[in-house]
Structure formats: structure tokens, C-alpha cells
């Protein structure tokens, strides 16, 4: 049985050193050190389990462990012991991303073992797939004697000999399948499919999807699932070129709606769409819960960008608010999970107010939810300014003539600035926003989740104001509701 008393002990001894200024109120973070991709997201034995890529010793990427947290409602999380750590020849340089599945009442983790050569650590590496199992309800895990259960000899011709990772397991028609991310070594990402009867003996089933040259040079963190009568593939393409206002980050996340043919090992789809249109969203993973909902959580950060909390705060990385994925008109729609409403308090409400110029809404905060409905009139642009002080503001603005929404953080604080834009149509002249602000994050759900924009911000502690504005004319606020989230 694996227990990482060294890492868990280090966290227990050092977590009091964390600076709290930007620690989030209602989002999952690592207990100490570094966090990235969500792993092993599953509802099992009465709890939601979220594992995550974790370097417990420093707030920087390092030899990857699997952190572990559990929740009964997707909002309030409890840390459990670190699940797995790099301590075997087949995972000596990192237990990379993977997934979880229940079999015969036991919880199995399937993950990528990362192995680096002795000289060229940047280019000389390879990856294999491993299993670990828990016999005590997910508290501790034992690595399989069969590891690696998918090794380098099972990589098909034409796929990368280095990048071969992030297994996402699912069950269909009485068999287990796993999708893996890779590339062809020539600048195109691809997804590989394997099948098994017992989780230990795997057979290559096909290359189910490949980039056409516009979708990045390596595909990571695939997740394939049924929604209604369709199959959905979510994955994270690296170094994907921007397409207009979309995919403006170095690494992105996209989804395709289509059909998986497990017999011939092919996934057919018509097009692809971003999962999130903001700054900080990557490597999402999904699970089905007892209510039949498909829940999505992503890493609320972006690779190869500045993270201010790394410097002196002792931690880096967080997860997004969990979102329910719905298939509407052939496209995904994302809504915040209903459970977040249980944490609302201190309702402030304004209705039917005409707005011209800029207005202080007379409420403030750093951890809250807004539900705002605007009715367009003559204004060229209208919207909200959040976390406002004399020198700082985060701007959410809509231009009716262009049907353009923009999220600007040029004056949001000490972190990176920039702007992300997306087109969104008004519905009978109305723009509906649900905005979730936490100590260092903003998530904006537009038009009942037709699109979502996520970004990290790092304002000063005095930047708490909320303002509404209407430029060069008027708009009407049909309703403005604010709740603190506690």
C-alpha cells in the first residue's frame, strides 16, 4: 500500500506559511505548492473525488504527484492524503495525468508514468500507462504488479514515441476503453483509442482523430463521453494558432460533437468549438454524478504564463467552478452547478433602472455572484467594472453593434493584463450575465451558459467596488442581483 508520509508531512508542517491574500473562497486549490490538471474526477462511494497534478514541495511544476480532495456538493472540499507519487521505475519522473473508474466496488486510477533519460532531460523522455487501486474507499492506493499496462511497444506507427499520455477511461457495451493524447511528430496532434476487458490487458483500437494542421501540434488530456445520443470529445491542443478572437492563448481547449465507432476505431465530427473563451482554462475533465449530470472542471490557469502567487505566497493553481455540460442545438452549453446557490448570502437587488454614464452600485466584495440582465437601448457599449479602486478595475463590456463581449484585465492588479473577446447575440435585446468573482478569479457565463470566459486576476485588497456603465447613450438594467458567497 502506498502512503506518502513524506509529502503529507511536509504539507502539514508548512501550510501555515501560505499567504492568504489570493487564496480562493469557493474554488478548489492545492493544500500547498503547485497544482495543475484535474485527474481522476469521479463520483464514488458517496463523494465526488478530485485528484490533481501536484508538486507538494514548491509552488512550481516539479515531479508530479496526485493530490486528492473529496466533496459532497462540488463546492466545499476536504483534502485527503496524496494518492500516488513517483517512486517506481515506470513513473520515476512523474505521475502524470489520468482518470479514475470503479470496478467491482474498487476505485482504480489509470495514469501516465513519465520517464526521463540521464542526459537530455528536455528531449529524451518517454511515457507509459499505469494502474493503481484502492481497497479502502479511495483513501490509499496500491500500484499494480502489471505496470505498465500500456507500454511503448503498443504505440502504433506514426504516433509520437515521446508524447503518449493522459489516459481517460470509460466503459461502453461491457468493455473498457481509454483515449490517450499524442502527436504524429510532424506538427499535428492526435488521439489514440485502446480497449480492455479487465483494465490490465489493453489492445490498440485505432487512431480516432487527428489535427488537420489548424488544431495544434500536440493533443493533451482527452475526454470522450456520451451526452444524449451524441459523443463528445474534449481535448487540449498545444500551440494552436489563433482563429479570429478564438484560441488566443498559447494552449487551448476545444470540443467536438460527433460519433465514436468503437469497432473501427474512428470518431467522426463536423467541427469544433472552444470550451472557454477567456484567459485561464485548460485540461478539463468530466464525470457523471448520481443525478445524471455531466460535470466539467478545468484547471483555472494557463501554462507558460506568470502566476503571481508563485513568488512569495507558497501556492499556485486552482480549479474552476464545476459546470454542468448540456447539449443544446448540437453545441455544448455550460452552467454553474446548482449547489453553489446554497452558499449565497446577503442578497442585494436592483430592478428596472435606466443607466447612462457610470454608476457605483453601492455594494462591494471579493467573493460573490452577480446575476445581471441588461436591455440594450442607445449605448454603444455597456457592462460592469469589478474589483474597482482608484487604480484598478476588471471590465466586462458588450458592444451591441458588433455583438461583441470583451473581458479586459489590463488594470486588474499585479498579474498579466490583456483582453479576450467573443461574439454573442442578444436575445430579444437582452444580455444575461452570471458572474462569479473569487479572491483571484472571474468566471463569466453569458446568455445562460452559451459561452463562458474565465480569467485569473490579482487586485489589491482595497479593490472591492462594483460599477455599471453605459457609454454614449443609455441601457436599462432589468435586474441586478448580488450575493456574497460564503
Give me the percent of the chain exceeding a pLDDT of 70: 99
C-alpha cell, 139: 483513501
Arithmetic mean of pLDDT, 201-224: 96
Residue 472 has pLDDT above 90, yes or no: yes
In which band, very low, low, confident or very high, does the pLDDT at 4 lie, cut at 50, 70 and 90? low
The chain-wide mean pLDDT, for the chain, equals: 97
DSSP 188: -
Cα separation of 433 and 417, whole Å? Answer: 22
Domain spanning 343-485: CATH 2.30.140.10: no
Residue 417: CB atoms within 10 Å: 12
- Cite the beta strand spans of 186-217 per DSSP E: 189-196, 202-210
Helix or strand holding residue 11 (H, E): helix 5-14
In which band, very low, low, confident or very high, does the pLDDT at 5 lie, cut at 50, 70 and 90? confident
Residue 1 has pLDDT above 50, yes or no: no
**Nearest 10 degrees: Cα torsion 429, 278, 471, 369:** 70
Q: What is the CA radius of gyration of the chain?
A: 22
187 CA to centre of own chain? 24
Residue 3 has pLDDT above 70, yes or no: no
- Cite the beta strand spans of 412-464 per DSSP E: 419-423, 430-438, 441-446, 451-456
pLDDT tens-digit profile of 319-371?
999 999 999 999 999 999 999 999 999 999 999 999 999 999 999 999 999 99
Q: What is the pLDDT of residue 2?
A: 45
Q: What is the residue extent of each domain of the chain?
A: 5-336, 343-485
DSSP 215-238: S-SEEEEEEEEEETTEEEEEEEEE
DSSP 340: G
Q: Are 128 and 90 within 8 A, CB to CB?
A: yes
pTM of the entire structure? Answer: 0.97
Q: What is the pLDDT of residue 120?
A: 79
Place domain 5-336 in its CATH homologous superfamily: Glycosyl hydrolase domain; family 43 (2.115.10.20)
State the catalytic residues: 37
Amino acid at each position: 500500500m502506498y502512503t506518502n508520509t513524506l509529502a503529507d508531512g511536509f504539507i502539514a508542517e508548512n501550510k501555515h506559511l501560505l499567504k492568504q491574500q489570493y487564496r480562493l473562497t469557493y474554488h478548489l486549490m492545492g493544500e500547498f505548492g503547485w497544482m495543475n490538471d484535474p485527474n481522476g474526477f469521479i463520483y464514488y462511494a458517496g463523494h465526488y473525488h478530485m485528484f490533481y497534478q501536484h508538486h507538494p514541495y514548491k509552488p512550481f511544476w516539479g515531479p508530479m504527484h496526485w493530490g486528492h480532495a473529496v466533496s459532497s456538493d462540488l463546492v466545499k472540499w476536504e483534502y485527503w492524503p496524496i494518492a500516488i507519487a513517483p517512486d517506481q521505475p515506470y513513473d520515476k519522473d512523474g505521475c502524470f495525468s489520468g482518470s479514475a473508474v470503479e470496478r467491482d466496488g474498487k476505485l482504480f486510477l489509470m495514469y501516465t508514468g513519465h520517464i526521463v533519460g540521464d542526459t537530455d532531460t528536455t528531449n529524451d523522455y518517454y511515457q507509459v500507462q499505469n494502474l493503481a487501486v484502492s481497497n479502502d474507499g479511495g483513501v490509499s492506493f496500491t500500484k499494480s504488479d502489471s505496470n505498465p499496462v500500456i507500454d511503448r511497444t503498443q504505440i502504433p506507427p506514426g504516433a509520437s514515441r515521446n508524447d503518449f499520455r493522459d489516459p481517460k477511461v470509460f466503459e461502453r457495451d461491457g468493455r473498457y476503453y481509454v483515449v490517450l493524447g499524442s502527436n504524429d511528430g510532424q506538427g499535428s496532434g492526435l488521439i489514440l483509442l485502446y480497449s480492455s476487458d479487465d483494465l490490465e490487458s489493453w489492445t490498440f483500437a485505432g487512431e480516432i482523430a487527428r489535427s488537420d494542421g489548424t488544431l495544434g501540434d500536440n493533443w493533451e488530456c482527452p475526454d470522450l463521453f456520451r451526452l444524449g445520443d451524441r459523443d463528445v470529445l474534449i481535448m487540449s491542443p498545444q500551440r494552436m494558432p489563433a482563429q479570429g478572437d478564438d484560441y488566443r492563448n498559447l494552449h487551448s481547449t476545444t470540443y467536438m460533437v460527433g460519433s465514436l465507432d468503437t469497432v473501427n476505431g474512428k470518431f467522426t465530427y463536423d467541427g469544433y468549438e472552444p470550451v472557454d473563451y477567456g484567459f485561464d482554462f485548460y485540461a478539463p475533465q468530466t464525470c457523471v454524478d448520481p443525478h445524471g449530470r455531466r460535470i466539467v472542471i478545468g484547471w483555472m490557469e494557463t501554462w507558460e504564463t506568470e502566476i503571481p502567487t508563485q513568488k512569495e505566497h507558497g501556492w499556485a493553481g486552482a480549479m474552476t467552478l464545476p459546470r454542468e455540460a448540456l447539449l443544446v442545438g448540437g453545441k455544448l452549453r455550460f452552467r454553474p452547478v446548482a449547489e453553489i446557490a446554497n452558499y449565497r448570502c446577503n442578497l442585494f437587488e436592483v430592478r428596472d433602472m435606466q443607466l447612462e454614464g457610470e454608476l457605483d452600485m453601492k455594494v462591494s466584495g471579493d467573493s460573490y455572484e452577480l446575476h445581471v440582465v441588461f436591455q440594450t437601448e442607445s449605448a454603444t457599449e455597456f457592462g460592469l467594472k469589478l474589483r474597482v479602486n482608484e487604480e484598478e478595475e476588471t471590465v466586462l463590456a458588450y458592444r451591441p453593434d458588433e455583438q461583441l463581449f470583451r473581458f479586459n484585465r489590463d488594470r486588474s492588479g499585479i498579474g498579466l493584463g490583456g483582453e479576450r473577446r467573443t461574439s454573442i447575440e442578444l436575445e430579444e435585446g437582452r444580455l444575461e450575465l452570471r458572474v462569479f468573482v473569487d479572491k483571484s478569479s472571474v468566471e463569466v457565463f453569458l446568455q445562460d451558459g452559451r459561452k463562458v470566459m474565465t480569467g485569473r486576476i490579482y487586485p489589491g485588497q482595497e479593490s472591492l467596488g462594483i460599477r455599471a456603465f453605459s457609454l454614449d447613450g443609455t441601457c436599462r438594467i432589468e435586474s441586478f442581483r448580488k450575493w456574497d458567497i460564503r
